[in-house]
Chain A
């Protein structure tokens, strides 16, 4: 049988639409791979095969009846376990949401379902999307399909590993400080964070509301563009979603990029933490762009050094507020410890939170609570918000000179499981090249760029001005066509 995992989602969608293969066969094929391989990497923490097959049968029936559906109709996908799925458990990788079954679908999920995509399961993640290694899940650690001793990155580690191992052609992640792009980079797949507000956050369990954004992961740029097409758009239920026209993301993919100006971020390329092989990958991308007639320009983001510290104040502050809702009352886990006689309600809440949250989540709630508390608010939270503006201004100045910027996604290829788990600051520094786009609200995409000498994936990152996803995807697609990377699936056998 044809190896469907080696085909792009776009190609699978085309074959399903042309009825060369049915959605059911395709879904069954990927479910069989999940059955055989998921236990090795734990990319998916919930699989719902029966429902997936029912959905595919429905798509096949509609196609048979001559209905014209979206280009990805019938294609299986995985959904990060932070997006609410009606009737299907949603845990956010946390014990505190154990048993929570959302009564509604996130807008993104609703849109994917109505475009005919077929969810096969939920992907594992760092608890509440806090982490860069998918080791902070209450349900188990996800492993990198390219090397099982390494992390897949995080927090959308399950999403990236699922695509890399050929368990699903598309997965949906979320990116608050790099949580789509970083695992995509470490697993050798494409992963995009669109402009803040481009995709509705309704039904996305909030971590840091001014930074969170949903984004797709897949093998090829055209798959990313088609998925974004489905997800993008205004939603009355999310007051921060952008009420701006949605362009056609697939139309300009192969437009010539001759004459375009692409900036190389010097502070990123020359950073002391940058692995030489990652740097070489960025330089390869640079040469490919030059060959296509692009003018390369050096650009500077002078506040790069401060982006991680600013992020690790702003995100925990927002998290400490958002996660106040988990107190064992309305849904999820409630501690069974006997409440204290002098304050029964409060002690039930304290016990539920203390038993329900994992270490990293507690650290961030503590950090955020500290930075927002009386006496520290100005020195920490407000200061970070001012630096955030300077970081956004750096990008604005860069985009006065260039159309798109190029740099690394991560300082190094995938690191070993356990390596940074007890050293939060080292873990946070992995986000150095990705948090800027979140702070400034800009779109970014991570593209595979070959492998290092040990066989681990390398990656580069492109970023663009707000709402310029068309240009971003165009440059990304041209780099893919010029041979920056081939679609690859990790062999787990």
Chain B
């Protein structure tokens, strides 16, 4: 497919990233090259082949439902850009 600046803007909004207009032009070209490159895969006949999401046969790992020690709140909050010692603080979800 041919990737346009509009496509890239839409993907950026899904990815929660913002780009300037000049970044956007450069990125559209680079992502276009990469998409063109990976589109080689279309040549491969994969009819009847199952997707391989993981190299191993994954089994659900279960453990006894016991309460274990977890990270103390003080440690969990220690790296936060902003907290009140009890909660992570962020700007309001809803604006004006």
Binary per-residue interface labels of chain A (452-488) against chain B in the complex, 1 for a CB within 8 Å, 0 otherwise: 0000000000000010000000000000000000000
Q: B37 contacts which chain A residues (CB < 8 A)?
A: 309, 312, 425, 428
The answer to whether A100 has its CB under 8 Å from any CB of chain B is yes
Binary per-residue interface labels of chain A (367-379) against chain B in the complex, 1 for a CB within 8 Å, 0 otherwise: 1011001000001
| Nearest CB of A to B73, in Å | 11
Please judge, given known A-B contacts A365-B15, A369-B14, whether A210 and B82 are in contact too, CB under 8 Å.
no
Binary per-residue interface labels of chain A (312-350) against chain B in the complex, 1 for a CB within 8 Å, 0 otherwise: 110000001000100111111110000111111111111
Binary per-residue interface labels of chain B (54-96) against chain A in the complex, 1 for a CB within 8 Å, 0 otherwise: 1110101101000000010001101111100000101111111
- Does A387 lie within 8 Å of B41, measured CB to CB? yes
- Does B56 lie within 8 Å of A240, measured CB to CB? yes
Binary per-residue interface labels of chain A (398-442) against chain B in the complex, 1 for a CB within 8 Å, 0 otherwise: 000000000000000000000000001100100000000001110
The answer to whether A139 has its CB under 8 Å from any CB of chain B is no
Binary per-residue interface labels of chain B (29-71) against chain A in the complex, 1 for a CB within 8 Å, 0 otherwise: 0110111011111111010011111111010110100000001
The answer to whether A3 has its CB under 8 Å from any CB of chain B is no
- Does B18 lie within 8 Å of A354, measured CB to CB? yes
The answer to whether B25 has its CB under 8 Å from any CB of chain A is no
Residue among A101, A309, A328, A425 with the most chain B CB within 10 A? A309
Q: State which size class the interface on A falls in.
A: 35 or more
- Does B93 lie within 8 Å of A342, measured CB to CB? no
Q: A370 contacts which chain B residues (CB < 8 A)?
A: 7, 11, 31, 35
The answer to whether A382 has its CB under 8 Å from any CB of chain B is yes
The answer to whether A303 has its CB under 8 Å from any CB of chain B is yes
Binary per-residue interface labels of chain A (274-289) against chain B in the complex, 1 for a CB within 8 Å, 0 otherwise: 0000000000000000
| Nearest CB of A to B66, in Å | 12
Q: B19 contacts which chain A residues (CB < 8 A)?
A: 354
| Nearest CB of B to A390, in Å | 6
The residue in chain A whose Cβ has the minimal distance to the Cβ of B74 is: A103
The answer to whether A197 has its CB under 8 Å from any CB of chain B is yes
- Does A103 lie within 8 Å of B78, measured CB to CB? yes
Shortest Cβ-Cβ A-B pairs, 4 listed: A441-B55, A331-B79, A344-B91, A239-B61
Give me the interface of A with B, judged by CB distance under 8 Å. 99-101, 103-104, 196-197, 210-211, 236, 239-240, 242, 303, 305-306, 309-310, 312-313, 320, 324, 327-334, 339-351, 353-354, 357, 362-363, 365-367, 369-370, 373, 379-380, 382-390, 392, 424-425, 428, 439-441, 466
A-B contact pairs, 16 of them (CB 8 A): A103-B71, A210-B55, A303-B44, A306-B40, A309-B40, A310-B38, A344-B93, A350-B17, A363-B30, A363-B31, A369-B11, A369-B14, A379-B42, A382-B51, A384-B38, A425-B37
